[in-house]
Structure formats: structure tokens, C-alpha cells
Amino acid sequence: MNTSTEYQGDAPGSANAATGVAPNRTLLSVLEALRLIGRGKKIVFRTTALFTAVALAVALIKPSTYTASTLILPPQQSIGGAGGSLAGLGALASFAGPGLGVKNSDEMYASLLVSESVLDGLINHFDLKTRYRADTMQDARTQLMKRLMVVADKKSGLLTLKIEDRDPVFAADMANEVVPEFRRLLDRVAVTEAQQRRRFLEERVAGTRAQIADAEMHLRSAQATSGLLSIDAQTQAAIRQAAELRAEIVAVQVRMESMSAFATSENPVMQRSAAELAGLRQKLSELESGTDSSAPVAASDAKGLDNVRAYRDLRYQEAMLDTLTKQVELARIDEAKEGPLVQTIDSARPPEKKSGPKRLLIVLGGLLAGFFVGALAALLSQGDLVGPYTESLGRVREAWSLSRKRSQ
């Protein structure tokens, strides 16, 4: 009787009869998976081809997009004569968070370029609600933000604005229109800041004039009481100089108060102003101590001293009025001027090459996704793999079924 036996291979994990060495279980599992996938290679090929065809169709259907860019030089930091308003940037810089020196000016301008004021101006100018088929302004802003990007170069301080659109000419027009919208925003905020500063100074001028009237009445009363109608020229010169120093101190304080809206104590201009203020106070202290020691009026003559003090207060208020009046005029000039200067280094031109979509990446992604899905489908289609787990899979299906019945 002729008998034959068919070699089935070593059981997974068993020792090889010839070598006595147990094979690697992980390697066997990988090889077994590859064998099962090979048995279902038709499923893999069909699934991969289907996914690749769909990805190719999507890549071909998606319209080409173009990105236009413009290079912008934001306003430079320069201290103006009207109390250091930084060319009207005090109110703008308050939008940024705390930091060192001027508070994140690059990030501040980048944020202002994509502010609602600028976006709304673009939407209205180009009728983007219709172009993007948006029902509301918020939807149009969302669609526009997906196509707009601002990149700040911290080394050069330049801003690069990029806008994407299907039409290269339209993309370039939009990128170039951002700068005028940005300028209008800066003009509006700068005028508002100058108006606030002018009103503040005008209030100080009105208060100083009232104090001058009180000082004049006090001086007349002191002259009538003491009988001294005049003060010697040396004392008058010292008092006038002290009054001018006090007025300069107040001017520096007003300037530092205006700068505090956009600069911290680490800002070089703030540090110079602080040093200037300390020097003026030191000079005033020395001058007043020298005046008191060399005053021709006897210390015991209280009426004479009251006359000198009244004259000193009057001269101080007059110097203050002169200084504040000049600052009011400078604030009015700033109010009439345009906002901070925004310069366009490179205007946007219609791009010649498309920026998207990345069709090759879309096709490769579809191919890889199809292969993995096909391989998984090939594995699950094998009965010898799924069979041992049929009962477990049934329990899982029953557990997740919405109409399942609990087994008693």
C-alpha cells in the first residue's frame, strides 16, 4: 500500500527539527500576514487602483490657485515733538501685550493687517461675500483668513503679506489693496490719539490760566501787605530760571506719560527721558537752594519771603502756560497730519506659477491609503484568520448593536 504524507510546515513557535532553534514569532506573524495579503492580492490591487483613481480625479478637478505677495515696511519708531507720541502710535501699541522696549511692534502690525477693519475693507471693496458665496460678513472673513497670511521678519522688521486666489490677477490686486486699507486704519487711530492728547493739553492750559489768575491776586496781596512793589534783578533772574526748569520738568513728564502707552521702562527713549528728568530736577534743586541762601530778603522778614514766593509761583505758572501752549500747537499739527507712514517695498504682481493644489501629493496619498485599506480588507477576507475569532467578533457586534438583547 502506497502511503504518502504531505509536509505542512512547522507549527508557529515550535522548534525546528533540524536545528532545534525556535523560530522568531514576530517574523512568522509578519510572513503569515504577507502570505494572507498575497492570497488576497486582487482585493489589494483593486482597492489601490480605486483609491488612486479617486485621488487623481480629485487632483484634476480641484482648481489651480495662485499666491501673490507684497513686501511692506511698517511705520518706523520716531519720537515726535508733541510729547513723544511716536507718530501717533500710542493708541495702536496698546493693542499689543506687555514686553520689552516697544511692545511687540512686528506682531502688533501683523495683527493689525488682519484686523476686522482691514478685512471688512477688502470684503466691501472686492465684493468678497459674492465671490466666496458667504451669507454673512463673519463667513466672508473666515474664508478670507484662510487665503491670507502675514509673515513678520524679526531681523529686518519687514512684513510679507500673501493672498491666495484662483485668479492670479485678482490675488495681486487684493494683496496691493491691503496696504491702503492698513493706512486708513492707522490714519483713523492716529487722529484719535492726537485728539485725545490735544484735549488733555487744552485742559492743562485752562487749569494753568486759572492758577495764573490766582497767583496774580496772591502777588498783589503780598505786595500790599509787605509794601514791596518790586524784587531785585538777581532774584528775578533766579526765579525766572527756576520757573523755566519747572516747566521743562512738566513737559518731560507729559512726554513720558504719553510714551507709557506704548513703551516700557526698558525702552531707550524712556530711559533717556528719565535721565533728562533726573538732571532737570537736580538742577532745579541746586538753583532753589542757591536762591534761598542768597536771597536779599531777610529770613526773619516773613512778609518779604511771602512776596518772593508769590512772584516765583506767578513766573512758574506763566512758564508752564507757555510750554503747554506750544505742546497744544504741536498736537494740533499731529492731528492734521496723516498717520504713520507705511511703505510698500515690493508691490504684488500676478504670479506666473500656481501654488496649489499639490496634485502629486494627493495622488500618492490616495495610492498609499488604497494599499493599506486593500491590505486590511485582504486580511479580513481570509477565513483561516477570521475563523478563530468568529465568536469574539460576534460578541463585539452584539455589544455595539443598538437593538441588542441582553443574554440571560
pLDDT tens digit string along 321-330? 888 888 888 8
pTM for the whole thing? 0.52
- Residue environment code for 243-278, b if the CB has 16+ CB neighbours within 10 A, otherwise e: bbbbbbbbbbebbbebbebbbeeebebbeebeeebe
Whole-angstrom Cα distance, residue 187 to residue 376? Answer: 62
> Measured in Å, how far apart are the chain's first and last C-alpha atoms?
56
Which DSSP category does 397 fall into? H
pLDDT for position 169: 93
Could you give phi then psi for residue 151, rounded to 5 degrees? -120, 125
Which residue matches cell numbers 502756560? 321
- Do residues 380 and 386 lie in contact, with contact meaning Cβ atoms separated by under 8 Å? yes
Cα distances from 18 to residues 15, 22, 23, 402, in angstroms, run 9, 11, 12, 54
pLDDT for position 51: 92
Whole-angstrom Cα distance, residue 114 to residue 72? Answer: 14
- Coil, strand or helix at 177: helix
pLDDT for position 38: 82
- Do residues 313 and 244 lie in contact, with contact meaning Cβ atoms separated by under 8 Å? no
pLDDT for position 89: 44
pLDDT for position 161: 92
Per-domain boundaries in the chain: 25-62+357-384, 66-190, 202-336
Contacts of residue 27, Cβ cutoff 8 Å, sequence gap at least 6: none
Flag residues of the chain having pLDDT under 50: 1-15, 17-22, 78-103, 292-300, 406-408
- Do residues 147 and 153 lie in contact, with contact meaning Cβ atoms separated by under 8 Å? no
Whole-angstrom Cα distance, residue 384 to residue 35? Answer: 12
Residue type, 248: E
- 364: nearest Cα among 44, 120, 56, 29: 56
pLDDT for position 84: 41
Grid cell locating 406: 441582553
- Coil, strand or helix at 164: strand
- Residue environment code for 114-146, b if the CB has 16+ CB neighbours within 10 A, otherwise e: beeebbbbbbeebebbebbebeeeeebbebbee
- Do residues 280 and 262 lie in contact, with contact meaning Cβ atoms separated by under 8 Å? no
pLDDT for position 258: 67
pLDDT for position 237: 77
Whole-angstrom Cα distance, residue 116 to residue 122? Answer: 10
pLDDT for position 387: 56
Grid cell locating 121: 475693507
pLDDT for position 230: 63
pLDDT tens, residue by residue, 268-299? 778 888 888 888 888 888 877 765 444 444 44
